[in-house]
Amino acid sequence: MPASRRHLSVVPDAAPPVSDAGGFILRVELDEITPPIWRRLREASTIALDDLHLAIQAAMGWDNYHLHQWRSRSDPNDRNLPTYKPTYAFADWETDEDERDEAGVPLTTLLHDVGDRLGYEYDFGDSWDHTITVEAVTEDAGATRCLDGARACPPEDIGGTHGYATLLEVKADPEHEYRDWLGEHADAFDPEAFDVDAVNRRISSEAHAAAIFRTAKANSALVSSIAGRLFPESVPDFTAALGAARLDEPVTVPDDAAQFLAPFAALVRASVGGIKLTQAGYLPPVVVAELRELIPDTIGPSNREIDHYQVSMLREYARSMGLTRVYKGTYMATKIGGRCAEDPILLWDTITRKIPFDKDDADRELAIIELIQIAAGILDRGPLAHETMTALKWRKTNGGNMGDSYSELQRLFTMLGVERPSRWSRRPTPPISDTARMFARTALVHS
């Protein structure tokens, strides 16, 4: 079994923590920089390493763009001590025998008493090494808070300690040889800046965002499948949408569920006795006429399926969800479809458990974002879709806006009156009803 799988849930043997209920006063200092850049933090002794990572990022002023790792410094000569890394590192990179997943590992696994030290490295390119030292052990834990500190965190991607030193030289010397290259950055950077109140506001804000992520991931496997590759502070609109989606609240079937799913209900009912398809394999005009009355934006008087792509999509979606099938030229309801024909609650439950049904990875993730936005009641869904898909590292080959993409789920929503026929439609986006929001929430929670 690969090392990346072996250590995902393993916590090494450690000495018993000295305080499971109390807290630590920690000094976090960047190595090899004079005068020192440091923060004094109050932390619960049992804070998980993945949460402490977010606290340090907020307190120091980093942007959480890069990988990080932890290593005990209680014995610098012991090369067998494990290294802890974020969960996504085990999914995306090869890992060594002594590397462990940081998620859920309490700080007391590595720190116990005053004077104990822990190494934290951020950005393996610039290699910003921090030393975390226990200054005091307290009886009360309390929320993360910055108590004191000095000097501003270096800019991201400046080139490590050597690049930082060069930046300060350029700032101090108008004639420096790198003035044309770094002058604008150097002039805008104040190395002495530190505002403890601003730091605590950022800590509080990012802790709230992280809590939203944790809650949403705990309640939805679909959300968890993409949120694990996102940082809450880097996708603020997506984070706000997750909070507005209220995935921790109970889901119920609305009274108008049958009306909301009327196109599916009508097709399944008509299929119970079997529908003889035309010689070309289409639904007969009488069935198309009924469905057209229930699907928004069908155009023209024709009752031929070939003239109404929405009817063809409805037929295919019902089949892909296991509600219908084709057998010897007859379109018929399956066993579950037959039961759903007169049971709107079962129909609601069946469909919400089948979506999203996009097979392509990018389309599936776009569909998940669509569900989150509808659950949150967001009308203009293009900008957030672009922000989040870009953060997930998806790109269009032509460099276009990811928010203009269209998933199979969005096409389904056009038939339910929730989405426009296309991103380029002149028709305004329909208002999102409470029923539509509940439908999206149920699909996310049922995943």
Q: pLDDT digit string (tens) for 238-264?
A: 999 999 999 999 999 999 999 999 999
Whole-number pLDDT of residue 431: 87
Cβ atoms of residues 348 and 259 within 8 Å: no
Q: Calculate mean pLDDT across residues 81-93.
A: 76
Whole-number pLDDT of residue 347: 97
Which residue is listed with tokens 């003239």? 307
**What is the phi/psi pair of residue 424, to 5°?**
-100, 5
Alpha-carbon distance of 135 to 42, in angstroms, equals 10
Whole-number pLDDT of residue 423: 57
Cβ atoms of residues 393 and 361 within 8 Å: no
pLDDT one-digit tens code per residue, 162-216: 999 999 999 999 999 988 888 888 889 999 999 999 999 999 999 999 999 999 9
Element (H, E) at 222: helix 221-227
Whole-number pLDDT of residue 19: 46
Residue 16, pLDDT > 60, answer no
Whole-number pLDDT of residue 429: 75
Whole-number pLDDT of residue 92: 59
Alpha-carbon distance of 81 to 75, in angstroms, equals 9
Compute the CA torsion angle 384, 385, 387, 389 (nearest 10 deg).
160
CB atoms inside a 10 Å sphere around CB 195:
12
Residue 5, pLDDT > 60, answer no
Residue 428, pLDDT > 90, answer no
Residue 156, pLDDT > 60, answer yes
Q: Give the pLDDT band (50/70/90) at residue 11.
A: very low
Q: Please give the mean pLDDT across all residues of the chain.
A: 88
Written as one letter, the residue type at 61 is: G
Helical pair 262-271 and 285-292, crossing angle rounded to 10 deg: 160
Top-confidence residue, 180 or 145: 145
Q: State the sign of the Cα–Cα–Cα–Cα dihedral 386, 387, 390, 392.
A: negative
Top-confidence residue, 12 or 141: 141
Q: Give the pLDDT band (50/70/90) at residue 95.
A: low
pLDDT one-digit tens code per residue, 317-327: 999 999 999 99
Residue % of the chain over a pLDDT of 90: 67
Residue 122, pLDDT > 90, answer yes
Whole-number pLDDT of residue 397: 83
What's this model's pTM, rounded to 2 decimal places?
Answer: 0.80
Whole-number pLDDT of residue 90: 72
Query: Cβ contacts of residue 121 below 8 Å, gap of 6+?
Result: 68, 69, 70, 71, 127, 128, 129, 130
Q: Calculate mean pLDDT across residues 411-431.
A: 75
Whole-number pLDDT of residue 13: 40
Residue 20, pLDDT > 90, answer no
Q: Calculate mean pLDDT across residues 34-40.
A: 97
**Exposure b/e, 306-317, CB count within 10 A at least 16 = b:** ebbebbebbbeb
Q: Give the pLDDT band (50/70/90) at residue 15.
A: very low
Q: Calculate mean pLDDT across residues 99-120.
A: 92
User: Vertex 146, ends 238 and 190: CA angle to 5°?
Assistant: 80
Residue 123, pLDDT > 70, answer yes
**What is the phi/psi pair of residue 44, to 5°?**
-65, 140
